[in-house]
Amino acid sequence: MALILKINGVEKVLDINPQEPLLYVLREEFGLNGSKFGCGLQQCGTCFVLADGEAMPTCLQPCQNFQEMDIITIEGLADGDKLHPLQESFFNEQAAQCGYCLNGMLIAGLALLKKNAKPNEDEIRIALDKVICRCGTHSRFIRAVKKASETHSKF
Amino acid sequence: MDIFKTNRRDFLKNTGHLIIGFNLFPFSSCSTTENEVSYNTYDGIPERAHINRDLIDSWIRLDAEGHLTVLTGKQELGQGIRTTLMQIAAEELDIEMEKCHIINGDTGQTANEGYTAGSNSVEGSGKAIREAAAEARDFLLNIIASNWNTEKSHLTVKNGVITGPNGQESSYWELLDGTYYEAKISGNAPIKSPKDHSLIGQAIPREDIKKLVKGEAHFVHDLRLPGMVHARVIHPPAYGAKLKNVDLQTVHEMPGVLKTIRDGSFLAVIATREFQAINAWQQLKESAEWELTEIKVLPKNLFEDLKQNAQAAQVIEDSPGIIQKINQSSKKHKATYLRPYHMHGSTGPSCAVAQWESGQLTVWSPTQGVYPLQATLSDLFDIEKENIRCIGMPGSGCYGHNGADDVSAEAALIAKHYPDAPVRLQWMREDEHMWEPYGSAMRIELQAGIDSQGLITTWDTHIWSDTHSTRPNGNAGHYISARHLENSFEFKKGGFSGGSYRNATPLYNISSKRLQLYNYDGPLRTSALRGLGAYGNIFALESFMDELANLADEDPIEFRKNNLDDPRAIAVLDKLAKETDYHNRIQQSNTGYGIAFAKYKNSAAYFAVLAEVEVHHEKKEFHLRRLTGVIDAGQCINPDGLINQTEGGMIQSASWTLLEEVRYDERGILSKDWNSYPILRTKQTPEVKVHVINRPEEKPLGAGEAAQGPVAAAIINALSSLLGKRVYKLPLREYFEV
């Protein structure tokens, strides 16, 4: 059975196992790198995508569950060479060490900002709490989301 | 894309050696298509094997097209070393950062700089690169001075352009014009004076973060090579388990499965797609029957066993009659500190890609040391090192010896059964949690005496610890899976490293000191975790310092200062007091303050920290509100990089200290995921602030591990002041768990 997925505005008809979690489809069929395998247990947020505006893990959910959803990955955020304001803010704050969790932090932050463009620090901390970071870059991620919210009102 | 187009032997034969500039080869262009993204050798210079550390172009290459390429044997681990090393080279040569590129550890190209460990990269590789860059500059200036019939001292350089006294101009690259020059590092080339630095000391942003925010290929995990297949390893359920039976037939019939591999107790599967490999892994895991070995020493008696069953004392430092001296002291104190096993806990499970072609092995690896990996693979496969190429690529942050080396060896073991195709192996979460070598549990007993002036006169240290280094430095038995093969390799612990007593000798002025180490062969696999023994030793030493300060009835900062001579140590404490307004802090009953200090390895960066812990709800719930640190790492190359590393170390250490402990029982490791091994997340993360004391005239000092130990002690000291009693055992979950 053919399966249709729309990723970053691009629709693809795929002939794959509909039970395959979206993460592997993103990496193998769409050639994307942003979403990463972290735990395969929906505990760490490394594999997040924005699905209809929500930060959702992709490491367990079958890809067929994402049909008819609008899926955005971090590769779909920049407008050509122009970074998305949240990407810009992450870069300006140099919010990364190894960078493996960055996808999850960025997507979790973006999902928050889309609902609440002026979150307070507690709201930011709660939104990012779903994502595991081992390098200890937490304070920079919090700051990057905060700074983006201060300079932009719509995400 | 074929990254092996250049046959390096032919290349060497044809070119002889050592050049600092060349344009002999056209750019080897790397086409990237969507399905073939990702591994780019920098396309500005052709590949060439490393020859000799004394040659300029082993570290620095200027091509004819206007680029500077830096070569380092050190790996990017998320510490920002790429930017830092490029800054060093660009500074000496006066070249813009935009023109700089860097190649990290690759046995086909770079120097052998061992492991990227011990906070040594700036002190080691940075020094070599600085000298090579200075030499290259001097060499080129000599040529042009002669061409223009002038003195070197009359030349200036800016943005790679040399200007002469009569306004003559030539860029380095115009000067080279494709000519080869042979030059060695004499060590006599003038190094720029710090007062002339324009790039060093600047917070140059890491450009790789721009790639990361866009989701561009960056990690070894993102490597996709033509014909690549996916593998999984089915690790035993516990240490020492032997594979008795497994149903391979069912797995062979599963979609996409290309091959199963069973060699003794080493079990693996290869499939076309990653998810197919995972399904097969699951099936094999369920059908495999193992003969188990019980773990004898359990958590409830671990710290007793450390003391009872360790080897005889190894005297590291002695002071005859010390116990008598302590007993004769005006005041004396004794305490025991315990730290559990901690995990590296990399966010991304380890991953590597390996390929065997005509008896030649290539491994793309997130290892901390490509040459040690090459040497150990040579032992594992009994082939010459020359037939193995190890290419270092960024992995998920490792913080020491995690699963990176094991996964590289396993990828190579699996790929050997499936020649010609690149085989990508990524560990599952439980593989990383259960099989990485942990930071060792430690027991530390301290005893000291102080005189009537509050000066420490005697200090006696006893440390019980398993090893802090089992890196596979040439011995295949250090790979877990090599021990599981039918023809297994034996693991020989091979002596306990000095890591166990790192930072155990106090930096304080103490006339009589003794240090004894009891090596212990513990129940869990251990190796290097950020700071090695320094984390446990400083936790103990700096907790003990607070207890002594209390005994002497002195303020903890003043007590430390009174017992220190080193002005730089005193300076970080003074700055900490000033930045936090420490002496005017308002004593609130719900806030505890704790400070700690260390000079990492007693030879690297100085670091002092203040922890602020709040208590709520009738002293039942504690919260680590803030950590403020001051670091002196000598000449600071990139302040934001230094701050980022230090903040990270502080938060990571806070996580170890507050929450972490590897759990296990007689059947094996119980900490298999993030629920059974919780770490600090953003809700609980303290505010962190780092102040830098920059000393441009001093040599740069390793800083990546400076925060680990002091943060633990500062938190304990803050907590203890609130509790009104001392806490001696980590972690502090009973107080801080939410």
Q: How confident is the model at residue B601 (pLDDT cuts 50, 70, 90)?
A: very high
Instruction: Decide if pLDDT at B494 tops 80.
Output: no
Provide the residue ranges of all domains of chain A, joining segments of one domain with +: 3-76, 85-151
Please list, in sequence order, all residues whose beta carbon lies within 8 angstroms of the beta carbon of residue B320, skipping any fewer than 6 positions away: none
Interface of B with A in 375-414 (CB under 8 A): 394-397, 399
Report the pLDDT averaged over residues B245-271. Answer: 98
The DSSP letter of residue B439 is B
Domains of chain B: 8-204 (3.30.365.10), 221-292+349-435 (3.30.365.10), 566-738 (3.30.365.10)
Cite the DSSP H helix spans in B121-200: 127-147, 172-176
Q: How confident is the model at residue B370 (pLDDT cuts 50, 70, 90)?
A: very high
Exposure class string for B573-598: b at 16+ Cβ within 10 A, else e: bbbbbeebebeeeeeeeebbbbbbbb
Report the pLDDT averaged over residues B703-726. Answer: 97
Residue B8 pLDDT:
34
Q: pTM here?
A: 0.94
- Asked if ipTM goes beyond 0.85, one says yes
Determine the residue type at B354.
A
Residue A151 pLDDT:
96
- Dump pLDDT digits (tens) for B55-68: 998 999 988 778 89
Report the pLDDT averaged over residues B701-707. Answer: 94
Looking at every residue in chain B, the average pLDDT score rounds to 92
Q: How far is residue A26's CA from residue B215's CA, in Å, rounded to a whole number?
A: 12
User: Which chain B residue's Cα is nearest to A128?
Assistant: B682
Residue B123 pLDDT:
84
Residue B495 pLDDT:
66
Contact (Cβ atoms closer than 8 angstroms) between residue B346 and residue B433 = no
| Tokens found for residue B340 | 């559990």
| Ranges under pLDDT 70 in chain A | 1
Residue B44 pLDDT:
60
Residue with tokens 């590296």: B344
Residue B124 pLDDT:
87
Instruction: Decide if pLDDT at B400 tops 60.
Output: yes
Q: Cβ of B396 and A75 within 8 Å?
A: no
Q: How far is residue B434's CA from residue B410's CA, in Å, rounded to a whole number?
A: 16
Q: How confident is the model at residue B587 (pLDDT cuts 50, 70, 90)?
A: confident
Give the gap in angstroms from C-alpha A62 to the nearest C-alpha of chain B: 11
Q: Cβ of A94 and B687 within 8 Å?
A: no
Q: How confident is the model at residue B738 (pLDDT cuts 50, 70, 90)?
A: low
Instruction: Decide if pLDDT at B629 tops 60.
Output: yes
| Tokens found for residue B436 | 């990485």
Report the pLDDT averaged over residues B552-576. Answer: 98
Q: What is the CATH number of domain A3-76?
A: 3.10.20.30
The length of chain B in residues reads 738
Check whether domain A85-151 has CATH 1.25.40.10, yes or no: no
Dihedrals phi, psi of B386, to nearest 5 degrees: -60, -20
Q: Cβ of B219 and A34 within 8 Å?
A: no
Instruction: Decide if pLDDT at B7 tops 70.
Output: no
Q: Cβ of B649 and A31 within 8 Å?
A: no
Residue A139 pLDDT:
98
Residue B39 pLDDT:
33
Q: How far is residue B116's CA from residue B122's CA, in Å, rounded to a whole number?
A: 10
Q: How far is residue B141's CA from residue B151's CA, in Å, rounded to a whole number?
A: 9
User: Which chain A residue's Cα is nearest to B279?
Assistant: A20
Strand partners, B465: B442, B519
Instruction: Decide if pLDDT at B481 tops 70.
Output: yes
Q: Cβ of B213 and A74 within 8 Å?
A: yes
Contact (Cβ atoms closer than 8 angstroms) between residue B112 and residue B29 = no
Q: How far is residue B279's CA from residue B271's CA, in Å, rounded to a whole number?
A: 10
SS3 assignment, position B386? helix
Residue scoring higher pLDDT (B359 or B116): B359
Instruction: Decide if pLDDT at B619 tops 80.
Output: no
Residue B496 pLDDT:
67
pLDDT above 90 as % of chain B: 85
Minimal Cβ distance to B213: which of A46, A90, A100: A90
pLDDT above 70 as % of chain B: 93
Least confident of B40-44, B70-74, B332-336: B40-44
Encode B527-542 in three state secondary structure.
Answer: CCECCCCHHHHHHHHH
Report the pLDDT averaged over residues B172-176. Answer: 89
Which residues of chain B are within 8 Å of residue A87 when distances are taken between CB atoms? 213-214
- Dump pLDDT digits (tens) for B671-699: 999 999 999 999 999 999 999 999 999 99
Residue B21 pLDDT:
45
Which residues of chain B are within 8 Å of residue A123 when distances are taken between CB atoms? none
B640 and A CB contact within 8 Å: yes
Residue B737 pLDDT:
74
Fold match, A3-76 / A85-151: no
Q: Cβ of B348 and A36 within 8 Å?
A: yes
| Tokens found for residue B688 | 């962190």
The dihedral through the CA atoms of B78, B82, B87, B92 has a sign that is positive
Q: How far is residue B484's CA from residue B472's CA, in Å, rounded to a whole number?
A: 16
Q: Cβ of B212 and A99 within 8 Å?
A: yes
Q: How confident is the model at residue B407 (pLDDT cuts 50, 70, 90)?
A: very high
Residue with tokens 């116990």: B323
Give the gap in angstroms from C-alpha B636 to the nearest C-alpha of chain A: 17
Contact (Cβ atoms closer than 8 angstroms) between residue B353 and residue B228 = yes
User: Which chain B residue's Cα is nearest to A37?
Assistant: B348
